[in-house]
Structure 1
Amino acid sequence: MFRYVHTNIIAKDANKLIDFYKKVFHCKSINETRDLRGVWLDGLTGLNDAHITGEHLLLPGYVEDHPTLEIFSYDKLEGTIPSEINRPGIAHIAFEVDDVEATLAEVIRAGGSNFGELVTAAYPNGKEAVFVYARDPEGNILELQSWRQINQT
């Protein structure tokens, strides 16, 4: 069996970031909070005395218990490297929303920030997309997108 399970974000303040994703993106608690430590976690992470806390949040648009956004925090955090859209590795998390501009405003009200310009792009088969990048309160890059059918002449 193969299935996508979760994406993990390591947060400076897991509770604050969890609240942000619940409020802005309608992620839901599924009663999977974590307070993990032990020899097995040290072996898995390669860290001594690792301790992580956080929660799995059901991503919007799904009705079961997966996939989730896993937001954890370690007791001991390394220094941060600012997220950049062209840095190798995972670049952003994308959410399809009804109204990109309204959701961007909500991101900003909830402590996030704008990143780049709002753009509209034509796609094949008469589709049009509105996109913008933003940052969550801890600087992780988000993509907001919405799609619509346009009239073809």
Structure 2
Amino acid sequence: MGMQIPSVHDPGMAPPGKHAASAYAYAFPVEASRDQHGQLKKDMAQRVIDKITRLAPNFKDILIRHITFAPYHMQSMFAAPGGDFCHGLLHPDLMGPNRPGPKGFLDMPIPIDGLYLGGAGCHGGPGITFTPGYNAAYQVLDDQS
């Protein structure tokens, strides 16, 4: 699970004296049938809330509301294949140099001049880090000089 509290840096994201938080849990069974997603989504939300409450004991008591997204939400909102916002499993075999760079994989570059990869499935990801786009932009600049 990953958690961020962006209202620490931007208080306008929450009412005065309150915070907005996002927690990402990576263990939702995407292969489960769609009719199970409603209950699984509730179960996952409760597990995340319980886990955070173990570290921040008043978390459950101060929680105003929460929204939980299942894999099909991630797929429709962010075009994340199978709901995987990492666009490729977060697995050691698929990290670092084993993810494509701006010109594809090291041992299998894209055979099209002027095509650069900058999506979440590229090195610098996974997820929404903006690093793959940064890498692609600098590759474009390097190739033009």
Q: Normalising by structure 1, what TM-score? A: 0.22
More strand by share: 1
The TM-score normalised by the length of structure 2 is 0.23
From the CA coordinates, give the structure whose radius of gyration is larger: 2
Higher helix share: 2
